[in-house]
């Protein structure tokens, strides 16, 4: 049964009054959240846990918050944040923890209640509600860097969100977490690689005792082709936490980019062993499948993806199962196996929907790879319509351009393909290789070779880029 906010009994209010009034007064005086608890140990554990959560160390943060809740079971804000971010909770468990925590936060300070209610609204269909609550919390607590950061990342538009993050780092230059989000925004959303690297370096400087800053820095270095430096940073991550899952996965990507599939699979196996959520383990197994594609071992890749799809469906992880079927559809389409492609696309649509961006994009891509332009065009058009929405993310826009580029290449329109591929970077490798193949057949060998060089120089490890590299080697 879901817990609902209600009237707090007078006896409970009187019992909690000293703590509430103390937190209220501290909050007013400092402009920061002053948490309500009678246990100093719980307070210490809470701030340590929140610091870990803000720095993407969810396992350790969850342990700290559990400690705070053991010391003070009525610590509402601690329970809400635990419910939102703790790994391995079921959906029902999350709901129970968040609802109970919000009810308890109603007996705490106003700032705590606003932050708790904002995190309770952490769902796509409640985005405006969440932003309004964080706005209110930031107005009440203007000197709290955590609240300012949460308010910034709740902004829907990517460009406005990046601007909000810049403002947070300007006001709170020594608060580390925003530099993490800002590094990726600059690097991936706006193509400012130097700015992204600079933000990651500042993140490392400010939070050198956390593993995640080194992981972020390493990932951006790897995307920049600085593989040895990336590997060194991942090792620094693991020196701080030997079980930091993302670092093991990152080393897998670096090994794959260096052409060492066996080492990549060893690193992914470490990531699988160190993680708890079943969907995460299955997703890393899909990454293992991509390493086989990178080696040209298609049989092993399809076998791994087929096993993932079956296990995910049995575990009712339909999204993971659908992704595995879509990946198999793209591989089979690259091989020209139409009948198998249709089966995988149909199964993925059955598991999720025929109208999701992922389904539309992969469907258009697979049909284009098979040369079925009439089937690909309407799917690409639907995806373009979704990407034209004001709420569309830069990643969604790039992916739409990538799909349009692939369809244009299937139409033998090399110029149109390259125009879209330029706007899709770095997601346009598969389109570029198809354009290069068109150019080569039309006698434009120099242009085809230039595209080949661009493709082989890319440092992404996604399936489409891997397939593109395999095809580029034959040009």
Which phi and psi (to 5°) does residue 389 adopt? Answer: -65, 145
Separation between Cα atoms, residue 198 and residue 206, nearest integer Å: 12
Do you find a cis peptide bond into 261, omega within 30 degrees of 0? no
Separation between Cα atoms, residue 396 and residue 380, nearest integer Å: 12
Mean pLDDT: which of 106-110, 162-166, 336-340 is highest? 162-166
Read off the CATH number of the domain in which 225 is found: 1.25.40.10
Is the per-residue pLDDT at 60 higher than 60? yes
Is residue 387, in this structure, part of any structural domain at all? no
For the four alpha carbons of 131, 137, 141 and 144, in that order, the dihedral sign comes to negative
Is residue 402, in this structure, part of any structural domain at all? no
Do 101 and 137 lie in one domain? The reply is yes
Of 243, 260, 275, which marks where a domain is finished? 275
Residue 77's CB is within 10 A of a number of other CB atoms, namely 27
For the four alpha carbons of 36, 40, 41 and 44, in that order, the dihedral sign comes to positive
Do 310 and 322 lie in one domain? The reply is yes
Do 40 and 153 lie in one domain? The reply is yes
Distances (CA, A) of 444 to 55, 420, 429: 50, 20, 19
Separation between Cα atoms, residue 407 and residue 422, nearest integer Å: 14
pLDDT of residue 11: 37
pLDDT of residue 30: 65
pLDDT of residue 25: 52
Is residue 450, in this structure, part of any structural domain at all? no
Residue 22's CB is within 10 A of a number of other CB atoms, namely 14
Do 85 and 226 lie in one domain? The reply is no
Tokens linked to 302: 């399809």
Do 433 and 457 form a contact (C-beta atoms < 8 A)? no
Do 147 and 24 lie in one domain? The reply is yes
Do 297 and 216 lie in one domain? The reply is no
User: For 188, which DSSP code?
Assistant: I
| pLDDT classification of 413: cutoffs 50, 70, 90 | very high
Separation between Cα atoms, residue 90 and residue 37, nearest integer Å: 27
Is residue 159, in this structure, part of any structural domain at all? yes
pLDDT of residue 10: 34
Q: What average pLDDT score do residues 313-336 get?
A: 97
For the chain, helix (H) and strand (E) counts, in that order, are 26, 0
pLDDT digits (tens, 9 = 90+) for 429-451: 999 999 999 999 999 999 999 99
Is the per-residue pLDDT at 4 higher than 90? no
Tokens linked to 47: 């701030």
User: For 104, which DSSP code?
Assistant: H
Do 18 and 157 lie in one domain? The reply is yes
Interior CA angle at 258 toward 254 and 259, to 5°? Answer: 120
Do 42 and 90 lie in one domain? The reply is yes
pLDDT digits (tens, 9 = 90+) for 83-102: 999 988 888 999 999 999 99
Tokens linked to 84: 């939102």
Is the per-residue pLDDT at 7 higher than 50? no
Does the global pTM surpass 0.85? yes
Is residue 21, in this structure, part of any structural domain at all? yes
Domain count for the chain, please give it: 3
More confident residue, 88 or 13: 88
Q: Which region among 17-31, 215-229, 322-336 has the lowest average model confidence (pLDDT)?
A: 17-31
Is the per-residue pLDDT at 426 higher than 90? no
Residue 87's CB is within 10 A of a number of other CB atoms, namely 13
Is residue 464, in this structure, part of any structural domain at all? no
Of 348, 364, 383, which marks where a domain is finished? 348
pLDDT digits (tens, 9 = 90+) for 70-87: 999 999 999 999 999 998
For the four alpha carbons of 474, 397, 150 and 127, in that order, the dihedral sign comes to negative
Is residue 309, in this structure, part of any structural domain at all? yes
Do 81 and 115 lie in one domain? The reply is yes
Separation between Cα atoms, residue 207 and residue 226, nearest integer Å: 22
Interior CA angle at 292 toward 289 and 297, to 5°? Answer: 125
Read off the CATH number of the domain in which 40 is found: 1.25.40
Separation between Cα atoms, residue 281 and residue 274, nearest integer Å: 9
Do 220 and 301 lie in one domain? The reply is no
Q: What average pLDDT score do residues 234-261 get?
A: 96
Do 41 and 127 lie in one domain? The reply is yes
pLDDT digits (tens, 9 = 90+) for 341-364: 999 999 999 999 999 999 999 999
Is residue 381, in this structure, part of any structural domain at all? no
The residue segments making up the domain with residue 136 are: 10-168
Do 248 and 331 lie in one domain? The reply is no
Do 285 and 277 form a contact (C-beta atoms < 8 A)? no
pLDDT digits (tens, 9 = 90+) for 360-412: 999 999 999 999 999 999 999 999 999 998 888 888 999 999 999 999 999 99
Of 233, 260, 275, which marks where a domain is finished? 275
Match 């492609």 to its residue by tokens.
Answer: 341
């Amino acid at each position: 049964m879901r817990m609902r906010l209600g009237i707090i009994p007078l006896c409970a209010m009187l019992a909690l009054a000293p703590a509430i009034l103390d937190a209220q007064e501290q909050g007013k005086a400092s402009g920061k959240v002053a948490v309500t608890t009678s246990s100093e140990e719980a307070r210490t554990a809470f701030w340590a846990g929140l610091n870990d959560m803000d720095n993407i160390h969810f396992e350790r943060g969850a342990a700290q918050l559990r400690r705070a809740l053991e010391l003070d079971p009525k610590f509402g804000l601690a329970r809400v944040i635990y419910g939102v971010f703790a790994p391995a909770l079921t959906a029902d468990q999350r709901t129970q923890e968040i609802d109970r925590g919000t009810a308890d936060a109603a007996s705490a300070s106003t700032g705590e209640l606003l932050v708790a209610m904002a995190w309770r609204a952490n769902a796509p269909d409640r985005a405006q509600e969440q932003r309004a609550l964080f706005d209110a919390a930031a107005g009440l607590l203007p000197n709290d860097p955590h609240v300012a950061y949460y308010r910034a990342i709740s902004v829907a538009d990517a460009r406005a969100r990046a601007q909000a993050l810049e403002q947070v780092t300007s006001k709170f230059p020594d608060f580390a977490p925003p530099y993490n989000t800002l590094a990726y925004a600059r690097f991936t959303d706006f193509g400012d690689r130097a700015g992204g690297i600079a933000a990651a370096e500042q993140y490392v400087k400010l939070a050198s005792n956390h593993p995640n800053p080194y992981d972020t820095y390493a990932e951006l270095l790897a995307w920049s082709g600085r593989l040895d430096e990336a590997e060194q940073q991942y090792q620094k991550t693991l020196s701080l936490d030997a079980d930091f899952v993302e670092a093991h996965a990152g080393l897998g990507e670096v090994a794959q980019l260096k052409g060492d599939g066996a080492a990549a699979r060893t690193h992914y196996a470490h990531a699988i062993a160190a993680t708890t959520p079943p969907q995460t383990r299955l997703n890393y197994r899909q990454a293992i499948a991509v390493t086989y594609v990178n080696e040209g071992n298609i049989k092993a890749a399809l076998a791994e993806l087929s096993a993932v799809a079956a296990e995910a469906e049995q575990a009712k992880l339909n999204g993971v199962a659908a992704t595995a079927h879509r990946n198999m559809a793209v591989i089979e389409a690259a091989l020209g196996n139409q009948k198998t492609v249709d089966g995988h696309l149909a199964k993925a649509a059955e598991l999720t929907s025929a109208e999701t961006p992922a389904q539309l994009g992969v469907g258009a891509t697979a049909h284009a790879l098979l040369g079925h332009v009439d089937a690909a065009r309407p799917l690409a058009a639907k995806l373009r319509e979704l990407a034209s929405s004001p709420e569309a993310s830069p990643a969604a826009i790039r992916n739409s351009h990538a799909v349009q580029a692939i369809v244009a290449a299937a139409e033998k329109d090399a110029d149109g393909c390259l125009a879209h591929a330029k706007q899709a970077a770095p997601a346009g490798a598969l389109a570029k290789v198809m354009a290069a193949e068109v150019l080569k057949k039309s006698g434009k060998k120099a242009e085809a070779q230039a595209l080949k060089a661009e493709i082989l120089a890319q440092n992404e490890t996604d399936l489409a880029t891997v397939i593109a590299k395999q095809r580029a080697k034959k040009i």
